[in-house]
Structure 1
Amino acid sequence: MGQAPVVYGQSSRPPRGDYSRAHEDYTCAQDFAAYTAQDHDTYHRLYERQSALLPGLASQAFIDVLPRLGAKERIPRFDDINEALWKATQWEIVAVPGLIPERAFFSLLANRKFPVTDWIRKPEEFEYIVEPDVFHDLFGHVPLLFNPVIADYIQRYGQGGLKAEELGHGEMLSRLYWYTIEFGLIREPQGVRAYGAGILSSSGELQYSVQSPEPRRLPLDLMRTMRTRYKIDTYQQTYFVIDSFEQLFALTEPDFTQIYEELSTLPEYGANSELLVSAD
């Protein structure tokens, strides 16, 4: 492959995955036969652990659609999920070997194709893994693709990402994805709940993000969010809260060209919400 995977944020670990399997668009066939009994057991145990933690912490919208992911006893076949997903929102999931370059990622999303890493973590990584694996992607991301508003938002993000990449602002836009789709919180009648995949697939951060007094929980403001850096290998120190998925969709409706120009003149915030003197 001509490009190396792109990793935004801050981490000392390089991405892993067998990229020799990938096509030009970085997708590959799900190698279902390669999964071992231990792999399926790891998935099952992760699913059981996370689903038991959801009440009172996860968005009810997520809890309602989680059963549409299918059998929890084993890693599902992507084709089986796609049959139901396509009928619901005209999305499909495609296998990838791991983290992929931004343009490839944006292109897939713009075409309503969600990239899912097809390998699963090792047993010794049960509690924590830096890279997204098949459990993180399936359990954390795919259920809300059955929600029409989120499905349309993610496609819009992909379309905007292609433009941001051409303008040289891919990293800036990646922060919006990070603080919404990966680590977003939503205010529901019962209180603040998690809808971001990075939170939903983590036992520790699911409880921490909703219940801990340590992190900041700020109302999601587009400019503020895109000025905030993040780290990929620690719990978040800042979370942004939306009132509805419709609000999130509406925020991304304007042309971002002028927004990028304005953002480039403003200082950034660190992951801990401290205002930085410059963006260096």
Structure 2
Amino acid sequence: MAALTPPAPVVYGEGSRPPRGDYARDGLVLADYTCPQNYAAYTAQDHDTYRQLFDRQSALVPGLACDEFIAALPLLGVKDRIPRFEEINARLTPATGWEVVAVPGLIPEVPFFTLLANRKFPVTDWIRTPEEMDYIVEPDVFHDLFGHVPLLFNPVFAAHMQAYGAGGLKAHGLGACEQLSRLYWYTIEFGLVRQADGLRAYGAGILSSSGELQHSVRSPEPQRLALDVTRCMRTRYKIDSYQQTYFVIDSFQQLFDLTAPDFTPLYAQVQTLGELAADARNAGDTLVSLA
């Protein structure tokens, strides 16, 4: 596969800062945007940053993260350094057929969807600076590994992610990627699930954030709505603040079933109905209480 001419980094959602990443990588970034994990480039500070983030976040998830995430978290392996991706794949691939692959940062829609459709999860391989311990706009290796990868060990969630990738390729052909990206944002990145013992987080953006984890599950400020795919696709989002709206599912099987139908007619319906602000209150919403 040929190396590519590095493009400008892509930007998703509403935010004021573009993402970063070394897209040149000395010609090692391939046409699908994958590249070798540059493990030798990590410094002792990089590994210590990962360790601190892992220790802090793993201490916060009990009672706030969903059961499936907590059960799978140990499968990431080492906690005191950035893992080698091949170490994770040695466990992940036999479990669900997925593998993690390195990318330099956010990548365009078609390569992203194609990787997911082939059960390859793109992981940004650089890590934030110590000054960004509490907040970072763009995904780094900690967000991608800690937030996303544990649930790829769950067969139902793993199947949903592959189906999302296949659906994304179709959406691109229909000019509907913005609508589908909102579904990704409000489920895979910032979704909540209703368990017998209360609301819990399963979205990677929540699970990898020390502040939003508590906010999403416990704060009375945001509105929480039962997942309605049309409503979700109409709702804009911001990348540089806590969410003002969260969508709630009852199980990963429900998420898989809700997103299984052909979205082609739904995209047209969403375009007709128009967009909603991130904090919009809408007639017909089904509110989910904290109790």
TM-score (norm 1): 0.97
State the alpha-carbon separation in 1 of the partners of residues 184 and 156 from structure 2: 15
**Residue number among 47, 54, 64 corresponding to 1:47 in the alignment:** 54
Which string of whole-angstrom CA distances, capped at 9 and with x for unpartnered residues, describes residues 234-271 of structure 1? Answer: 00000000000000000111111111111110022111
Q: How does 1:25-44 map to 2 (within 5 A)?
A: 25-44=32-51
Aligned to 2:257: 250
1:278 aligns to what?
A: none
SS in structure 2 of the partner of residue 263 of structure 1: helix
Residue in structure 2 matching 1:13, options 17, 33, 51 = 17
Aligned equivalents of 1:49, 1:9: Cα separation in 2: 28
Structure 1 residues 226-237: aligned runs within 5 Å:
226-237=233-244
Match of 1:171 in 2: 178
Does 1:271 pair with 2:285? no
- Secondary structure (helix, strand or coil) at the match of 2:128 reads coil
Match of 2:92 among 85, 104, 125: 85
Aligned-pair distance for 1:17? 0.4
Residue number among 146, 159, 170 corresponding to 2:153 in the alignment: 146
What is the one-letter code of the residue matched to 1:37?
A: A
Task: Note if contact 1:6-1:102 (Cα within 8 Å) is conserved in structure 2.
Answer: no
Distance 1:160 1:76 in 2: 30
Give the AA of the match of 2:18: P
| Amino acid in structure 2 at the alignment position of 1:47 | F
- Secondary structure of the residue aligned to 1:273 is coil
CA displacement 1:9-28 (0-9 Å, x = unmatched) = 11111110010121111011
2:287 is aligned to none
Q: Does 1:155 align with 2:162?
A: yes
The reply to whether residue 212 of structure 1 matches residue 219 of structure 2 is: yes
Given that 1:3 and 1:101 are in contact with CA atoms closer than 8 Å, whether structure 2 keeps it comes out as no
- In the TM superposition, residue 212 of structure 1 has moved relative to its aligned partner by 0.4
Residue 113 (str. 1) matches residue 113 (str. 2):
no
1:72 maps to amino acid: K
CA distance in 2, matches of 1:167, 1:182: 23
- Tell me the distance in 1 between the aligned counterparts of 2:244 and 2:144: 22
- What is the identity, as a one-letter code, of the residue corresponding to 1:189? A
Q: Across the two proteins, how many residue pairs are aligned to each other?
A: 275
Residue identity (%): 71
SS of the aligned residue for 2:248 comes to: strand
Tell me how far apart the structure 2 counterparts of residues 6 and 159 of structure 1 sit (CA, whole Å).
20
Asked if structure 2 preserves the Cα contact closer than 8 Å seen for 1:4 and 1:101, the reply is: no
Secondary structure of the residue that 1:68 maps to in structure 2? helix
Q: Tell me the secondary structure at the aligned position of residue 76 of structure 1.
A: coil
Distance 2:6 2:34 in 1: 14
The TM-score with structure 2 as length reference comes to: 0.93
Partner of 2:64 in structure 1?
A: 57
